Amino acid sequence: MISFINVDIELDKKAIFRNLNLNIQSDEFVYIVGKSGSGKTTLLKSLYMAIRPKKGEVQIGGYNSRTIKKRQIPLLRRKLGIVFQDFRLLEDRNIYDNLAFVLTVTGTKEQQIKEKVMKALHSVGLEHAADQMPRNLSGGEQQRVAIARAIVREPLVILADEPTGNLDPDTSLEILEYLKSINQKGITVIIGTHDYELVRHSPSRTLQITGLNLEETCIIPTETGYRISPPAA
Ligand SMILES: Nc1ncnc2c1ncn2[C@@H]1O[C@H](COP(=O)(O)OP(=O)(O)OP(=O)(O)O)[C@@H](O)[C@H]1O
């Protein structure tokens, strides 16, 4: 469902990925790990076509980076739910309206908006917070709203870029559990993170950025924490 085929990505003439080949199936839960600056954000951006490969192609949701037209990019993004480290909620409107906005712009009818928004809030345990303003919620709650906003359009894929980067360890695990439960409903989830502890806690397919490519990796629990196999480059 998602494929990178012989992909080279450069930013400002600097090679970030070289000859990347990768397939991710529907329903998978995948971590992309790597140290700061290794290219996690770049990889996720190439999936929502904010970055296009210099060579090769990225296929996602029936679109192809080589052939997609500029006007089709919003259509692709409607099939994706994107979650950022800094939540990015609209501060001037309440939680309900933050989610409703996403549906209004695509012309969904009022009654349907209400049902979908409340269902999405329910799935992150925040239906009681619909009337609250974002600033009145904790960081973890704001990220749960961001996850609800990402799923309200019933996407094929959730792309989460360091979704726990601003959160304490316990809240991070809670966010991870919400993302796992969304995945169990059949939505592909791809998480970029440098938090190996998160991966150790809840293991799943893990791809580590090493040099200009990716390799399948295991985070192995040990008595003192975890070990990465093969080791981080
Ligand atoms: N717009 C840009 N122009 C040029 N280089 C860029 C641009 N954006 C990112 N880079 C470089 O690309 C490399 C990969 O950056 P990226 O943000 O994808 O890494 P990351 O793994 O997500 O890092 P972090 O964990 O710190 O967020 C870095 O060396 C970065 O400096």
Atom of ligand 1 nearest to the CA of 44: 18
Q: What are 77's two structure tokens? A: 């993004």
CA 87 – ligand 1 centroid, Å: 19
pLDDT at 223: 80
Cβ neighbour number for residue 174 with a 10 Å cutoff: 18
User: CA–CA separation, 163 vs 176, rounded Å?
Assistant: 9
Q: What is the pLDDT of residues 101-124, one digit of tens each?
A: 999 988 899 999 999 999 999 999
Pocket probe mutation, ligand 1, options 7, 9, 10, 11, max atoms within 8 Å of Cβ: 11
CATH of domain 24-53+69-79+155-233: 3.40.50.300
Closest CA to 49 of 21, 85, 86, 7: 7
Domain boundaries defined on the chain: 24-53+69-79+155-233, 89-154
Given a contact cutoff of 8 angstroms between Cβ atoms, the answer to whether 82 and 144 are in contact is no
pLDDT (tens, 9 = 90+) of the chain, 233 residues, equals 899 999 999 999 999 999 999 999 999 999 999 989 999 999 999 999 999 999 999 999 999 999 999 999 999 999 999 999 999 999 999 999 999 999 998 889 999 999 999 999 999 999 999 999 999 999 999 999 999 999 999 999 999 999 999 999 999 999 999 999 999 999 999 999 999 889 988 999 999 999 999 999 888 778 877 778 776 65
